[in-house]
Structure 1
């Protein structure tokens, strides 16, 4: 994947480009946040908290009601009474930084030619200074899994923090997993405005066989003496030795069952279901095989006429109650721009059965565990990255999620965006207060 940056020249003639925000410098002064309500991301809440961090790592998590604390050990103290502190939210299965303007082909680098592309690395196409990426940070989304699209095997994803000069600086975890778009058992004719009839996918078994052949051939290649190098087979090694996760994009019950069975038959170590609309029907299978689910955008309609109208909203509750590790993703229409609404997807899940702290885990600790980065982020704990933010109110409610401060690995972020500049500009024009 390669970016064609000539598009910047095209934009410069079409519209004025604001000065790009410079990524924050490495944390130089230690910081202490006092008296905020701390939502740790693991289900626990500290009503009057003290959170300290230095050199990019959290060094203190304490309850000020139980401990007498001195702020003299820290260079900067932020008084946050009445406010809330959260771990940075994580957006999995995201194409942030891979597409800037959907209508401009030269700025679209989310997919590669070919059908089986496990050797394609999405991270090298990631544009760290994307304006779209900048726009999601003011809602608390500070990390993302950059994921390719297209084909049967799209390629590998990588996990980044969202304030960096380039993709190398942004990396949290490189090439964390391979993404498999499992064949659907049905075909839909028509289009979204005029849906057609549902038909059986007559090529379903042949398409599965093609995947099976790749898995078998890859294992044989990796087990035998290396003669002629094969990048496709070689790149499959991680899903067999457990260093990478196989992310299976599937929504239908049979689709998920067949995908899990195929993966287990070929000794794939780590499996995650992405989408998982009918995963609630096969929770025993998922629990038995320790398979997590990244649920598709819950702000969607049911897929069948006989399903409850609120089924997408309560899906996280149904899976959580069965002991399944659940995270949220928002792929689909306008997915990059809609990333900013990820906290409010979790808020909907809270309105339909989960507690607020359980809903918070869907976009913090649960997602971190699913992505394999929970030793570094996802919760507010001593020793983990100081990637967190302060909000004036409930971060899962669009009415009150107003960030006053945000930090990535201890670095204080600029929260002003191009949109906020336009807001100020036109408020001034019409003399609004």
Structure 2
């Protein structure tokens, strides 16, 4: 019996090692020079026939390959290819759930409604096979965000080549996430109610609940704190402005109420997430310097009288209004669909935004909104060498074919469970 148990454990460990994510790449020890590629810097600029060099995990040179300068280390000939900064997904629950149908693998939310002290980072699973599948499309970083409740918890930003969450972290506890009440509710058809939208009679009650909670936290933080209350302590950052309050809200009325209410409460470092109808309150957002993390473009209009392509054009409208916009991934199949992040940006590009501005949504803009633009988001000297080489346009699923990829200078594998199956069955049918 004991021998069988030992053999069973060894088998389990062996199989677990087989299906686990690849071993993270070792620290960069040799320098690299990427020569001849069209470099998309992530800030709207493009360098044809570029030269990019990096050493010890940091970019050391960005310029034209015609310049007379000694190449460092291994030279990668990237002529007729393109080089990009690693893409960043905002508002994602990657690593917090693996298989939606298996409850034991889902850790995206907690019981309760006011949970600012819940930290997503300590639940983040670096061994997720879903995360592994992001990298072949150039998605190397994400804001890991909790879900549920009125105040869901605190997010953190990670990179996708790490042994554990401590190694993965780019920025810990970057902001608190709040789900603003919906000003409209949909009738419950199973109770005989009209299934259409109608004003939410509990909308003001929900706002009052938020105001009371934040006011109680402010009173606690100003007091002597004789007894420690973790949920109130967790709001100190958003109240003093050192952390951002990410407000998940849509609709003209909802956005207006959220901005005005939070500012009255002394919360000024605000980011709007989702932002349907944000174009209708662009002046309010611009006046208060409030960024917007948009949803994926591939969705239906919110109301019957909206243009069918308004979701595709919203990025262009907000950009023209001078609002800083990024791209998030919350929604159906959000973890698996995050690999398509560059292609959602590509849709915004096709509907007026343009390729380089669309690229900024998932590079420089997301980095600025998440507070990591000092490290990543653009190809600049001194920033992390988190970048990749593609055979073609990275915002086009037909040509986004990565040949080389680096995270903090480490040359990473682009193999995943999916690529292994693809190769296996491609060979089967070739024979």
- Residue 391 of structure 2 aligns with which residue? 392
Query: TM (normalized to structure 2)?
Result: 0.94
> CA shift at 1:336, angstroms?
0.5
1:314 aligns with 2:330: no
SS in 1 for 2:305: coil
- Residue 382 of structure 1 aligns with which residue? 381
Residues 43-68 of structure 1 show CA distances to partners (whole Å, capped at 9, x for unaligned) of 00000111011111100001123x11
Correspondence 1:188-337 to 2 at 5 A: 188-189=186-187, 196-337=195-336
Aligned pair in 2 of structure 1 residues 411, 14: CA closer, same or farther (>3 Å)? closer
Residues 263-294 of structure 1 show CA distances to partners (whole Å, capped at 9, x for unaligned) of 10111131000000110000000001000000
For residues 388 and 73 of structure 2, what CA distance do their matches in structure 1 show?
A: 18
> CA shift at 1:18, angstroms?
2.9
Residues 294-349 of structure 1 show CA distances to partners (whole Å, capped at 9, x for unaligned) of 00121001011110000000000000000000011121100001001110111111
SS in 2 for 1:129: coil
SS in 2 for 1:352: helix
1:68 aligns with 2:68: yes
Asked if structure 1 preserves the Cα contact closer than 8 Å seen for 2:20 and 2:129, the reply is no
> CA shift at 1:16, angstroms?
11
Q: How many residues align?
A: 419
- Residue 140 of structure 1 aligns with which residue? 138
Correspondence 1:87-236 to 2 at 5 A: 87-189=85-187, 196-236=195-235
Residues 110-148 of structure 1 show CA distances to partners (whole Å, capped at 9, x for unaligned) of 000000000000111000010000001100000000000
Gaps of 5+ in 1: 1-7
SS in 2 for 1:307: coil
- Residue 40 of structure 1 aligns with which residue? 41
1:21 aligns with 2:22: yes
SS in 1 for 2:84: strand
SS in 2 for 1:92: strand
Query: TM (normalized to structure 1)?
Result: 0.94
SS in 2 for 1:52: strand
> CA shift at 1:240, angstroms?
1.4
> CA shift at 1:196, angstroms?
2.1
> CA shift at 1:15, angstroms?
11
- Residue 86 of structure 1 aligns with which residue? 84
Gaps of 5+ in 2: 1-8
For residues 190 and 135 of structure 1, what CA distance do their matches in structure 2 show?
A: 38
Runs of 4+ in 1 over 4 A off after TM superposition: 11-17
For residues 138 and 21 of structure 2, what CA distance do their matches in structure 1 show?
A: 20
- Residue 422 of structure 1 aligns with which residue? 421
For residues 15 and 366 of structure 1, what CA distance do their matches in structure 2 show?
A: 38
Structure 1 stretch 175-184 or stretch 224-233: which is displaced more?
A: 224-233
For residues 210 and 183 of structure 1, what CA distance do their matches in structure 2 show?
A: 10
SS in 2 for 1:115: coil
> CA shift at 1:354, angstroms?
1.1
For residues 334 and 225 of structure 2, what CA distance do their matches in structure 1 show?
A: 41
> CA shift at 1:396, angstroms?
0.3
Aligned pair in 2 of structure 1 residues 29, 150: CA closer, same or farther (>3 Å)? same
> CA shift at 1:75, angstroms?
1.8
- Residue 5 of structure 1 aligns with which residue? none
